[in-house]
Structure 1
């Protein structure tokens, strides 16, 4: 059964297109479910656009089917599980929650995306749910919804990396919590990392997924979810085994400063405790700004009004905390960041807004 808002539909009703009293905002999700149940072989999906111009990707029913059943095997999902979809059903993550419910013959509550998706579902006990980091943090930070969060048996989090601070919070919840690795082209995730583990997050490949790296340590994937052949990603990883890896950062975000190549995501993780102490609750990222001597100067971007005194303190402490030449040379304050619909910081739009003044 699929529950759109407060109206329930059986698979038979959806297949037949019987959507009486369905709120208009759920039309697209209902139609996707109808197409799936009627055997539509291809679907057009749009990428998030967080690292470039959004594009349309066509995936097959076979790919989506493989993804659903690999995830089911990984977690041992049973039929009639109760599930929550609080993601944008126009994007791959939301669509895959719809398919999981239909294929696992589960009961799915479909809500429109909001920052705290559990605030009106405090009495529900979910077996499986998917969120983006900002949603998981909002649920944890609210005492009432934290109790509901503790009732979720399996929670997967994707769309953006989980911050070290959020990871520490999620280690305290009762159920299983996993960070996903994947993209639209791989039809949702192909690997999962246990957020409650110690040390760096180690991603374990789903069943039937093969992994390798190219000469630049960019991850290559071969799987039923990603289609035929090997898919070369822009993600630099450290292989732990032939089925597991640690994510280091995106190759297209790599910064070459004075001949030293750095991955800003890994550096930011080391800086995170300092930033949360000095600029609590503020978003941030590292980027390379053109520099006549270094080529690119490592620059820390913070979502905050200009604060030179606290900024200078961060730069001084970063120099002490980080390896030589890996500390940011300056701080750029931008009052408001741009975000994608999946909760990722849209670095390109954020910097473009700053450049326009």
Structure 2
């Protein structure tokens, strides 16, 4: 059975052995709330005699798939995060992410490995605001962080992951004393392999790789990650990046989203960032075939709709965009489809649009 750090605490409870913790999780599974049941099931998997766990990818860019993840890689990742953020034994940490997914699982592993005092609550928007406790470390998705701005004075270090950090959130974090970071990583890399400080004197537009992680580009210009101790083989991503030096990079977008319009490459994620302040409904930028340009930019919004026509959105919103980046058409979908972690299933939404009757 895998070892548990002697300083580890779970909601204030200490455990003399892994066996005692396992017994606690069995009771928690029977009597706990939904998020506690998820936690107990992961802890049981973590404490069994297998040298791996089974987890799944988010499904934001395709069908979710199961991955066999070595526990040794998760322990290694936990130690590197502790080193990078100077978080040692008795760190007061809040788990407000689902233990069904890698981000929540890794919060547990960090606590078990590094000896943290872990406070576990439901993965809600109110996770931080409804408690008076102070924390050395909290990990959140962007929506939780935005909802928690008024309560961040209770947090020493904030790690944001699981989605794109909006310009609005990044600007709001400039006025808080909490050390805020955004993570870069994926299930295949056992959570993050790089961090970007987004406020304070160390703020940067570039992610910095964790110690011992080396980076390169493939022939497409996409990031390749070599992370000994985490992955035995290089992890080839679909993320287009720009290097500052051998360990620092700026994320540009996903190659499978890039739009080639008349020979000009357009990164949807950058157009979306420019439109954030203009739209108060969920949206994304995509492409559709164009007989002259090859592809043209379109805007898809979650909006009351009839046959794909969006309500309340007009092309005047695009006046500040470069001409080639301006959406040529606006589509509305009454309800977007999302992954379990809150990311838009872009391909599924676009397939709905393709089914709409075409105007003659």
The TM tier, using the shorter chain, reads 0.7 to 0.9
Q: Distance in 2 between matches of 1:24 and 1:309?
A: 41
- Single out whichever of 256-265 and 306-315 deviates more from structure 2: 306-315
User: In 2 relative to 1, CA 132–18 (structure 1 residues): closer, same or farther, beyond 3 Å?
Assistant: closer
Deviations 1:86-108 (A, max 9, x none): 11111100100010111111111
**Gaps (5+ residues) in structure 2?**
1-7
Matching residue of 1:124: 133
Matching residue of 1:345: 344
SS in 1 for 2:324: coil
Does the aligned pair in 1 maintain the 2:42–2:100 contact within 8 Å? Answer: no
User: In 2 relative to 1, CA 11–222 (structure 1 residues): closer, same or farther, beyond 3 Å?
Assistant: farther
Q: Distance in 1 between matches of 2:250 and 2:310?
A: 34
SS in 1 for 2:68: strand
What is the CA distance between 1:24 and its match in structure 2? 5.3
Equivalent positions of 1:54-133 (< 5 A) are 54-121=64-131, 123-133=132-142
User: In 2 relative to 1, CA 309–111 (structure 1 residues): closer, same or farther, beyond 3 Å?
Assistant: closer
What is the CA distance between 1:293 and its match in structure 2? 2.7
- Single out whichever of 264-273 and 219-228 deviates more from structure 2: 264-273
Q: Distance in 1 between matches of 2:243 and 2:154?
A: 34
Cα RMSD for the two superposed structures? 2.3
- Single out whichever of 183-192 and 292-301 deviates more from structure 2: 292-301
SS in 2 for 1:325: helix
Q: Distance in 1 between matches of 2:329 and 2:345?
A: 20
Does the aligned pair in 2 maintain the 1:180–1:189 contact within 8 Å? Answer: yes
User: In the alignment, which of 1, 15, 28 is matched to residue 22 of structure 2?
Assistant: 15
Q: Distance in 2 between matches of 1:85 and 1:166?
A: 21
Equivalent positions of 1:221-232 (< 5 A) are 221-224=225-228, 226-232=230-236
Deviations 1:240-285 (A, max 9, x none): 1100000000011111222322211122223334x2xxx3x32221
User: In 2 relative to 1, CA 43–19 (structure 1 residues): closer, same or farther, beyond 3 Å?
Assistant: closer
Does the aligned pair in 1 maintain the 2:299–2:331 contact within 8 Å? Answer: yes
SS in 1 for 2:314: helix
Q: Distance in 2 between matches of 1:54 and 1:225?
A: 24
Matching residue of 2:276: 272
Does the aligned pair in 1 maintain the 2:303–2:311 contact within 8 Å? Answer: no
User: In the alignment, which of 50, 58, 62 is matched to residue 52 of structure 1?
Assistant: 62
User: In 2 relative to 1, CA 233–283 (structure 1 residues): closer, same or farther, beyond 3 Å?
Assistant: same
Matching residue of 2:198: 195
What is the CA distance between 1:193 and its match in structure 2? 0.7
Does the aligned pair in 2 maintain the 1:2–1:110 contact within 8 Å? Answer: no
SS in 2 for 1:350: helix
Does the aligned pair in 1 maintain the 2:96–2:140 contact within 8 Å? Answer: yes
Matching residue of 1:153: 156
Matching residue of 1:245: 249
Instruction: Normalising by structure 2, report the TM-score.
Output: 0.87
Q: Distance in 1 between matches of 2:188 and 2:287?
A: 27
Does the aligned pair in 2 maintain the 1:304–1:334 contact within 8 Å? Answer: yes
Matching residue of 2:5: none
SS in 2 for 1:90: coil
User: In 2 relative to 1, CA 89–299 (structure 1 residues): closer, same or farther, beyond 3 Å?
Assistant: same
What is the CA distance between 1:2 and its match in structure 2? 4.7
User: In 2 relative to 1, CA 109–291 (structure 1 residues): closer, same or farther, beyond 3 Å?
Assistant: same
SS in 2 for 1:159: coil
Matching residue of 1:143: none
**Gaps (5+ residues) in structure 1?**
141-145
Q: How many residues align?
A: 339
Does the aligned pair in 1 maintain the 2:73–2:231 contact within 8 Å? Answer: yes
What is the CA distance between 1:11 and its match in structure 2? 6.3
What is the CA distance between 1:355 and its match in structure 2? 4.2
Instruction: Normalising by structure 1, report the TM-score.
Output: 0.87
Q: Distance in 1 between matches of 2:312 and 2:186?
A: 40
Q: Distance in 2 between matches of 1:226 and 1:296?
A: 39
Q: Distance in 1 between matches of 2:354 and 2:148?
A: 35
